[in-house]
Amino acid sequence: MDIQDLLIFSRVAALQNLSAVGTELGLTPGTISKRIQALEEALAVRLFERTTRSIRITEEGTRFLGYVVRVLHELDQARSSMAASSGKPVGKIKISAPQVIGRLYIAPAVPAFLEAYADIEVQLDITDRQVNLHEEGYDIAIRSGALNDSTLIAKRLATDKIVIAAAPSYLAVNGTPATPEQIAEHKCLALGDAWSWSFGSGTTETAIRIAARLRSDSSEVLRIAAMAGLGLMRTTELIIADELAAGQLVSVLSHAVDNSSTGIYALYVSGRHIMPRQRVFLDHLADWFRVQRRSPEAASKSSGGHDVSAAASAGRG
């Protein structure tokens, strides 16, 4: 089984367009199609369902893709490890970042990094879905908020605060909750599959079940809905810094939220030697957050980026 075939397969799965993959890899669509067919014959399974207008990965193809991503990632790690002996960071960094944090803080940091390190390639995926670093081949995942214990390592890039916020128009009609228990009486805007919000800390932590008027996997969607007066949202201060400063959103119940471990973190897999390209990117992000002064980058509050043994669970990482 040829490594080039695995690469072609992974790119067809990602782009779902033979012409686009051919342009990217310098091959004709016909060649791409033949290589995929040869791979299917070698595996004795159908990897893609094809029509004259579309190409869609099959269930078997999706399972195979998980293995292929890990193989290609490990190969890239091996190449970079060999190149590291020269002391020069090289290779590709695959990064995941949530939508708002990615757009406001991570994406603006990338151009200067690429200018400084000409031999490093960056793939930055902006998504609120919590990727699995182990299975999806990500080198770094950016997270905001409080983190849970896991096998991942977290580098703190900046301090932050969890906030419950709503538009003044919503509070004027529905009232301002004075206790966490009153959240249950309010319309809430829920991120993903969250059915409760936690308050307090340690042994006194309480989970309050919420009634979600709107549910989305996008914090950007929830931010827009909150400004429209549709309900309360749970987010972090850096995500809605501009809206809080302008009075478009108002923070409530700040006294009831535990912010002892809240921040913006860069997560990476423990038990694996960190590649030079990863280290220089992490250092670059820490410096970026530390020196930014323009709104809404309140990164002047950055902790300076100390490694800690805290992270989102490996399965959700």
**For 31-65, how does the pLDDT look when each residue is reduced to its tens digit (9 = 90+)?**
888 989 999 998 999 999 988 778 889 999 999 98
| 190 confidence band (pLDDT: 50, 70, 90) | very high
| 315 confidence band (pLDDT: 50, 70, 90) | very low
| 173 confidence band (pLDDT: 50, 70, 90) | very high
Q: What's the pLDDT at 141?
A: 93
CATH (one of 3.30.460.10, 3.30.60.50, 3.10.20.600, 3.40.190.10) for 87-160+261-308: 3.40.190.10
Q: What's the pLDDT at 271?
A: 54
Helix axes 29-43, 18-25, angle to 10 degrees: 100
Give the residue extent of every domain in the chain.
3-65, 87-160+261-308, 162-256
pLDDT above 60: residue 68? yes
Between CA 23 and CA 63 the distance in angstroms is 26
At the topology level of CATH, where does 162-256 sit? D-Maltodextrin-Binding Protein; domain 2 (3.40.190)
Q: Nearest 5 degrees, angle CA 221-CA 165-CA 293?
A: 85
- What is the tens place of the pLDDT at every residue in 241-283? 889 999 999 999 888 887 666 788 999 886 556 778 888 999 9
Highest mean pLDDT among 241-245, 295-299, 306-310: 241-245
Highest mean pLDDT among 83-97, 146-160, 210-224: 210-224
Q: What's the pLDDT at 203?
A: 65
> Mean of the pLDDT values across residues 75-96?
73
DSSP labels, 27-59: --HHHHHHHHHHHHHHHTS--EEE-SS-EEE-H
Asked whether 96 and 231 are in contact (CB, 8 A), the reply is: no
Common-topology check for domains 87-160+261-308 and 162-256: yes
Q: What's the pLDDT at 50?
A: 85
Average pLDDT, whole number, for the chain? Answer: 82
Q: What's the pLDDT at 312?
A: 36
Q: Which architecture does CATH list for 3-65?
A: Orthogonal Bundle (1.10)
Instruction: State the pTM of this model.
Output: 0.61
The residue among 304 and 37 whose pLDDT is bigger is: 37
Residue 203, Cβ neighbours under 10 Å: how many?
Answer: 5
